[in-house]
């Protein structure tokens, strides 16, 4: 049985990737997210058979449930797409400790453990897609923990790509700029003070980002910047010292916060 596993499948990029996977001649698509109704709604839109896992990936029981299903079914995992993620905007004092911990648990720990579960069931021409962010390319004040988690995921993915290449398993890190039509930005702004990052010019659309990044991953690209801003950001951060970029970012975001309160 050939399957794909998509985390964060109830909305945003995860939902868009599930629609793209529906065209991939799979036997099942395993949809993983917390909101059961949204998973059922998505499953109803797909032609491919689905198996829904309405679980919270920060809970150990969720990983156990998925792992048990893999051991029972012994499928060939053609695609693993780790699209579940969380970001919060604000200074360190503006974000509650539970949200800081959840960002680390979901963006890093859950992605690594899901990958660890899937690899034994993968082989030649299997794909792992880790949804990172162009924030992974540099430290970002007022987005510090989120950017750090995505930097972790980017470096993990690049190293894993080299390890798994002899088995024919392709690992891609997807690093987009902000996406305007997902739930991510409203959730990220739900802190004591999110005015440090105000306005998201040139933000992309989820369907376009998903389609471009999925096509690039299938071609075997390791690091994918699926829009103009993320491509430019990657280039700039590879040339200019990160200290300069952080200083400029802090100044700009500080001005935005003062204007908001003024």
Give φ, ψ of 159 to 5 degrees. Answer: -65, -40
> What is the reported pLDDT for 260?
46
Region for 209 from its dihedrals, namely left if φ exceeds 0, alpha if ψ lies in -120 to 50, beta otherwise: alpha
Instruction: Work out the burial of residue 194: count CB atoms within 10 Å of its CB; fewer than 13 is exposed, 13-18 middle, 19 or more buried.
Output: buried
Is the pTM higher than 0.85? The answer reads: yes
Say which residues have a Cβ less than 8 Å from residue 117's Cβ, sequence separation at least 6.
63, 66, 67, 70
Beta-strand pair 223-224/170-174: parallel
Angle between helices 206-218 and 12-21 (to 10 degrees): 50
Q: Look up residue 203 and give its two tokens.
A: 């933000």
Q: Look up residue 139 and give its two tokens.
A: 């430290």
Angle between helices 36-45 and 12-21 (to 10 degrees): 30
Between the two ends of the chain, the Cα-to-Cα distance in Å is 60
What are the tens digits of pLDDT across the range 103-158?
999 999 999 999 999 999 999 999 999 999 998 998 888 889 999 999 999 999 99
Set out the domains of the chain in order of their start, with CATH numbers: 2-261 (3.40.50.720)
pLDDT band at 262 (very low <50, low <70, confident <90, very high): very low
> What is the reported pLDDT for 261?
46
Our measurement of the distance from residue 85's CA atom to the centroid of its chain's CA atoms, rounded to an integer in Å, reads 5
What are the tens digits of pLDDT across the range 1-46?
999 999 999 999 999 999 999 999 999 999 999 999 999 999 999 9
């Amino acid at each position: 049985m050939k399957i794909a596993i998509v985390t964060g499948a109830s909305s945003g990029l995860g939902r868009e990737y599930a629609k793209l996977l529906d065209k991939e001649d799979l036997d099942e698509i395993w949809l993983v997210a917390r909101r059961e109704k949204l998973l059922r709604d998505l499953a109803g839109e797909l032609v491919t058979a689905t198996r829904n896992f309405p679980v919270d990936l920060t809970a150990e029981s969720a990983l156990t449930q998925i792992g048990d299903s893999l051991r029972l079914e012994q499928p060939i995992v053609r695609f693993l797409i780790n699209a579940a993620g969380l970001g919060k905007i604000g200074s360190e004092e503006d974000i509650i400790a539970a949200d800081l911990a959840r960002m680390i648990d979901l963006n890093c720990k859950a992605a690594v453990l899901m990958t660890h579960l899937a690899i034994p069931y993968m082989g030649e021409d299997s794909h792992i897609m880790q949804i990172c962010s162009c924030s992974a390319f540099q430290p970002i004040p007022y987005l510090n923990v989120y950017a750090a988690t995505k930097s972790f995921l980017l470096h993990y993915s690049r190293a894993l790509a080299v390890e798994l290449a002899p088995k024919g398993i392709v690992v891609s890190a997807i690093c987009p700029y902000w996406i305007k039509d997902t739930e991510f930005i409203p959730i990220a702004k739900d802190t004591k003070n999110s005015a440090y990052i105000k306005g998201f010019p040139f933000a992309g659309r989820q369907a376009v980002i998903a389609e471009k990044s999925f096509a690039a991953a299938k071609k075997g690209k390791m690091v994918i910047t699926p829009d103009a801003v993320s491509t430019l950001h990657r280039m700039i951060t590879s040339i200019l010292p990160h200290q300069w970029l952080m200083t400029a970012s802090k100044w700009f975001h500080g001005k935005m916060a003062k204007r908001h309160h003024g």
